[in-house]
Amino acid sequence: MGGVKSIPSPAISADERSHEVDHPSSQVAHFGTEQPLRLDCGVDLTPFQIAYQTYGELNADRSNAVLICHALTGDQHVANVHPVTGKPGWWETLVGPGRPIDPKHYFIICSNVIGGCMGSTGPASINPSTGKVWGLDFPVITIPDMVRAQAMLIDRLGIDALFAVVGGSMGGMQVLQWTAAYPARVFSALAIACSTRHSAQNIAFHELGRQAVMADPDWHGGGYADQGIHPHRGLAVARMAAHITYLSDAALHRKFGRRMQDRELPTFSFDADFQVESYLRYQGSSFVERFDANSYLYLTRAMDYFDIAADHGGVLAKAFADIKTRFCVVSFTSDWLFPTSESRALVHALNASSARVSFAEIETDRGHDAFLLDVPEFFDISRAFLQSAGKARGLKGS
Amino acid sequence: MSVQEVLPLGGVATGQSGDFRADYRLVAEMVKPGSKVLDVGCGEGDLLQLLETRGIDGRGIELSREGVNRCVAKGLAVVQGDADTDLVNYPDDAFDYVILSQTLQATRQPRVVLENLLRIGRRAIVSFPNFGFWKMRLQLLIGGHMPRTENLPATWYDTANIHFCTIKDFVQLCDEINVKMERSVALDLYGRPVPLNLPWWVWNMFGEQGVFLLSRGGGK
């Protein structure tokens, strides 16, 4: 049987990927051995670097800084053309001129997370003690580690308190971790499509993705960089599986139904007859162009370990005791990865802490991905929440 | 379904002056400036907005998603929730006042809700339509059918108001659960207070709705 196409190899070489890892097209904050990052696993990561983008100007009293936290496969290029893919910023629907988070009013910061692969130190970076790529020698990191690193960046930028911390999915986890760890440094928190802990089902999906990566012979026990290759097939399968969880049955049906891809009849082969197959293969192959396989393992692991209540004696409300931060929690009806029930549990805990919280569930059939898409009701709510917080903070123009 | 949707209080709307309903203005007067307030069943947030103009830190719970989203889009701190099930999540003494405006009759367990209001808040402000209002009585007595008014237009089979009571009934419940009435006002059909010096039965007859400022009783 000829003509069966597997997932195509990436159009981009391993060399180009590693360039963004070590020499990102972003601003970089270097932290030397005098400023180690103390990780939850007990290791001090040093030296390390954080790659970040900023938009807008910091005002005179340094009160208008907004930190955007990116999701699992996002990066710091929230509102500019991506240096590798050439695509627009991943959250230009929310961040940018005329958008709810407008650089005209706010100093917007977005950094690549620790463990990422777009310029912040991670498993694809060079381990200074060996001169080789870290690979699996990189220590396991957690969401609190990511936030600790961000706090060091904020210190470096001379910002004491952030006006807002904003993020969806894994970014939302970071938002919640910020409020639990540094309540006095966060004036307002916009946590979207997220949870205070990763569910068993979500851990299961992550394990599926990691096993797909590790089952690729090109993974070489995590040491593929030394061989000059990349386990793109395994990583693409991981991405395909994950991508399904970001959508919904209704959205897939509306978008693709059972329609065929460039053909009228089935080919009676394992070629991508259906549009949905073709779409998933494209998602898989375009992802591996910009993402490191080991980084995917580390970041999914960080999400799995996330459980704020567990860090506070099992009582979620204790994490937010007497907090002054203004919260806005948003969920989407068709999101089955971070369902509304998770947001509601968070809201109950915030109520129990007498925190000032708004909570809106938005009706959409677009699943978890809705937070990245054009959902006007979500933008209205985000804009109003930040404006009212801005008024309370005394920001001009809000 | 929002209480506001099933209970559009057209007849007690704006009154003569201002943009706010007469009962809202009365409720707002009862709240001391600078206090912390929870509005249970806050609809589209009109009362919360009125309170905000008076420097009051207001929060809201609303059952309908549309109502909540409109509130949040106005910058109000409102969460989606149900008075019957979600009040238990709030700690004791979390608020100075908890307001239940035109919602008591739509709850499944009014007594439990009322007890929760005065657990969470040091004071509660409760307003509800008075089923002892003369128009109601007349419809049942003469018409022989379940009363429907301008303010309560829903039929018996599609109303969300499952626990109607009269002012007299409510006063009795307050006595039973040892709740102190600090202030009580009956509003007539036009949102005007029924004169204070008249006896209870007049209130119960001519009050279209009752508005009560409550606090915990001193123990028996």
Task: Flag whether pLDDT at B13 surpasses 60.
Answer: no
Look at residue A6 in the predicted model and tell me its pLDDT: 58
| Binary contact (B68, A360; C-beta < 8 A) | yes
- The answer to ipTM > 0.90 is no
A266 Cβ contact list (under 8 Å, min separation 6): A260, A273
| pLDDT band at residue B8 using 50, 70 and 90 as cut-offs | very low
| Binary contact (B78, A358; C-beta < 8 A) | yes
Distance spanning both ends of chain A, measured CA to CA = 63
With b for 16 or more beta-carbon neighbours within 10 A and e for fewer, the A306-345 pattern comes to: bebbebbeeebbbbbeebebbbbbbbbbbbbbbbbebbbb
3-state class percentages of chain B: helix first, strand second, coil last, to nearest 5: 35, 25, 40
Residues counted in chain A? 398
* Whole-prediction pTM: 0.90
Cα–chain center distance at A144? 14
DSSP code, position B125: E
Look at residue B38 in the predicted model and tell me its pLDDT: 96
Reported as type and span, the H/E element at residue B167 is helix B167-176
Angle of CA points A186, A188, A194, to nearest 5°: 100
| Binary contact (B90, A351; C-beta < 8 A) | yes
Largest Cα separation within chain A, whole Å, is: 69
Tokens standing for residue A357: 């919280």
- The answer to whether B194 touches B186, Cβ cutoff 8 Å, is yes
A361 vs A344: CA distance, rounded Å: 9
Residue A160 is a catalytic residue? no
Q: Checking phi first, is residue A261 left (phi over 0); if not, alpha (psi -120 to 50) or beta?
A: beta
Task: Flag whether pLDDT at B10 surpasses 50.
Answer: no
Is B94 an 8 Å CB contact of chain A? yes
For A190-203, the pLDDT digits (tens) are 999 999 999 999 99
Percent of chain B with pLDDT over 90: 60
DSSP code, position B142: I
Beta-carbon count within 10 A of A261 CB: 15
DSSP code, position B60: E
CA distance A79 to chain B (A): 24
Which residues between 51 and 90 in chain B have a beta carbon less than 8 angstroms from any beta carbon of chain A? Answer: 57, 59, 65, 68-69, 71-81, 86, 89-90
Q: Which of A348, A356, A362 sits opposite B77 (nearest CB)?
A: A356
A25 Cβ contact list (under 8 Å, min separation 6): A83
Q: Residues A18, A111, A169, A343: which is the catalytic one?
A: A169
Is A352 an 8 Å CB contact of chain B? yes
A93 vs A102: CA distance, rounded Å: 11
Closest Cα to residue A351, out of B89, B35, B100?
B89
Residue A30 is a catalytic residue? no
Residues of chain A with pLDDT under 70: 1-18, 397-398
Cα–chain center distance at B119? 17
B37 Cβ contact list (under 8 Å, min separation 6): B31, B51, B56, B57, B58, B59, B95, B96, B97, B98, B99
| pLDDT band at residue B201 using 50, 70 and 90 as cut-offs | confident
Residue A68 β-bridge partners? A110, A166
A304 vs A210: CA distance, rounded Å: 12
Look at residue A232 in the predicted model and tell me its pLDDT: 95
Look at residue A231 in the predicted model and tell me its pLDDT: 96
Greater confidence (B125 vs B21) lies with: B125
DSSP code, position A369: G
Half-sphere exposure of A79 (CA within 13 A, CB side): 23
For B84-117, the pLDDT digits (tens) are 999 988 889 999 999 999 999 999 999 999 999 9
Residue A358 is a catalytic residue? no
- B chain contacts of residue A385, beta-carbon cutoff 8 Å: 72, 75
- The answer to whether A78 touches A70, Cβ cutoff 8 Å, is yes
Q: Residues A18, A286, A368, A398: which is the catalytic one?
A: A368
Residues B197-218 have a mean pLDDT of: 88
Half-sphere exposure of A130 (CA within 13 A, CB side): 10
Q: Report the C-alpha dihedral over residues A21, A22, A27, A32, rounded to 10 degrees.
A: 120
DSSP code, position A221: G
| pLDDT band at residue B7 using 50, 70 and 90 as cut-offs | very low
DSSP A80-147: S--TTT-PPPTTTTTBSTTSSB-TTT-EEEEEPPTT-SSSSSSTTSEETTTTEE-GGGSPP--HHHHH
Look at residue B155 in the predicted model and tell me its pLDDT: 92
- A chain contacts of residue B74, beta-carbon cutoff 8 Å: 384
Beta-carbon count within 10 A of B29 CB: 12
Strands B121-129 and B95-101: parallel
DSSP E strand boundaries for A169-268: 186-192
Look at residue A97 in the predicted model and tell me its pLDDT: 97
Strands A356-362 and A132-133: unpaired
Closest Cα to residue A359, out of A189, A174, A205, A157?
A189
Residues B40-44 have a mean pLDDT of: 94
- B chain contacts of residue A387, beta-carbon cutoff 8 Å: 75
Reported as type and span, the H/E element at residue A343 is helix A340-352
Cα–chain center distance at A130? 29
Residue with tokens 């971790």: A177
Q: Mutating which of B38, B39, B72 best tests the A interface, going by the most A Cβ atoms within 10 A?
A: B72
